[in-house]
Structure 1
């Protein structure tokens, strides 16, 4: 006769009574929230000061620099918005940022696809080369970069800004996109091949839609980086007709150094597009970077 072992039976989980709610999550440490709010205040305070300063007069700023506008003055912003110089520099920044972003995204996706999906000799060395590009910012290479652009005859032209920005934007793009493209299952590619899709067909029909979060992330980072770039235009551009907004802010500040309120208005309008762009797409950036880490 064999002995049987009694297996304890766990009681079934009782459903929650009607009206019973989950307990609210406990708040974290007040110190954490205080530090977070302090950092937010440190980051926002200069931006708020610049924006509000454009609504003041020079006498208000000199009398009480930390006060709110009283009364509010709109002529500083009106003068900037009716200036052909501002809109010309705005157009130059838009052209450079858009073309640079398109170049970074198109070339970055193609390079990342090859590195992520194909095996070939020196594949690891190529990826390491792009990773090493993150350690060499544009400021370090600005002198030899200027000499190369001068030899190519691209000094004082918008194209002379676009080419280096695309080149220096590729390392970040490749590092972000390669994990996205590696995470695509091989079964999808095999199924597409069985259905008669070529490699290019698989790339355009499957890879691009699946990599949209990463593509959007690198596009946003490239656009904002190009919009805020100051050092390269400072070296490349000579005529004010080709100035971008960061360089235009410096020129305007030098020309109207005694008119502090007008300088603040020009500066706030110059940085406003990048702030709005970043505020709208910040979730896309976080989601894209998170996906890259998971991949």
Structure 2
């Protein structure tokens, strides 16, 4: 008569002294990337943030300190440079022009972009994809190529030279391809059942667009809005040709200030630092929404 031998209990734990292969791999990966990845990331951060920090700290130094030790820290800290920029009435005129032009550009680009992206995403018609490719090709069209025709069109034909709208409308047109390309996947990902339920309840196409499409694409709208605002705020070439005197924007003001006070290097650094603060703060405040918006566009 045979007896059954007791089998040792089965456990999922590995034998003593051994570690799973996956855990060793995770321990060496430094949270998803090797040392080389971190070194490259640090190098990119240094190249990106370094000039910004140098300009901001340089505004707290005197010209004598910059000449004596260009790479040193402020010693002592000087605030007269920033005070001189803030108390300069020309600076606030430049800031007002940049703000108004950037807001007009953002509103026009977002509204026109979402109205163009909606039929390209939700309607079926013969030339839908070729029409969308026109917007995609618009991403490859630089402003410099069309700058002379735009100058003639805006100043001679439309009589909008040296005005806010004369700069904002072309900037919105160049921001339109990016807006359409980002918003179309958002609108294509909307469930068809939502539109069908709304039509059953008596909603019109405009009502569906207003009450369903726009709220559900809010992350994408924020993304394209921030991109349009920052692009308009930093624009230089188009305002340079179309704006004069009191209508000039902050990038042009930085150039004028650096030309007028060429010997005041610390003052120029202070002016440049203050000029980039609004766009930098807006981008940093909305970076989470921008990333989520771009991820939604890629997934769609």
- 3-state DSSP class of the match of 2:142? coil
Task: Extract unaligned runs of 5+ from structure 1.
Answer: 1-10, 15-22
Deviation, structure 1 residue 113? 0.5
Corresponding residue number in structure 1 for 2:81: 76
- What SS does the aligned partner of 1:89 have? helix
Q: Which residue of 1 aligns with 2:221?
A: 215
Q: Which residue of 1 aligns with 2:159?
A: 153
* Among candidates 9, 27, 34, match of residue 39 of structure 2: 34
CA deviation profile, 1:99-156 (whole Å, cap 9, x unmatched): 1100011111111011111122322221111111111011221111111112221111
Give me the whole-angstrom Cα distance separating, in 1, the residues matched to 2:283 and 2:61. 27
Stretch of structure 1 that moved more, 43-52 or 23-32:
23-32
Indicate which of 63, 68, 74 corresponds to 2:68: 63
Task: Within 5 Å, give how 1:127-142 maps onto structure 2.
Answer: 127-142=132-147
State the distance in 1 between where 2:110 and 2:35 align: 42
Question: Equivalent residues in 2 for 1:48-59 (5 A)?
Answer: 48-59=53-64
Q: Residues 12 and 111 (structure 1 numbering): CA distance in 2 closer, same or farther, change over 3 Å?
A: farther
Q: Following the alignment from structure 1 to structure 2, what is the Cα–Cα distance between the partners of residues 270 and 212?
A: 29
1:165 maps onto 2:165 in alignment: no
Q: Distance in 2 between matches of 1:83 and 1:126?
A: 48
Secondary structure of the corresponding residue to residue 178 of structure 2: helix
| Match in the other structure for 1:47 | 52
Uncovered stretches (5+) of structure 2, i.e. residues with no partner: 1-9, 14-22
Q: How many residues get paired?
A: 276
In the alignment, which residue of structure 2 is the partner of 1:288?
293
> Are residues 1:224 and 2:230 paired?
yes
Distance 2:12 2:297 in 1: 39
**Deviates most, 116-125 or 65-74:** 116-125
CA displacement 1:37-84 (0-9 Å, x = unmatched): 111011111101100000000000001000000000000000111111
| Equivalence map 1:2-41=2 (5 Å) | 26=27, 27=30, 28-41=33-46
Please name the residue that 1:175 is paired with: 181
Give TM-score scaled by structure 2 length.
0.89
Matches of 1:53 and 1:232 in 2, distance apart?
A: 29
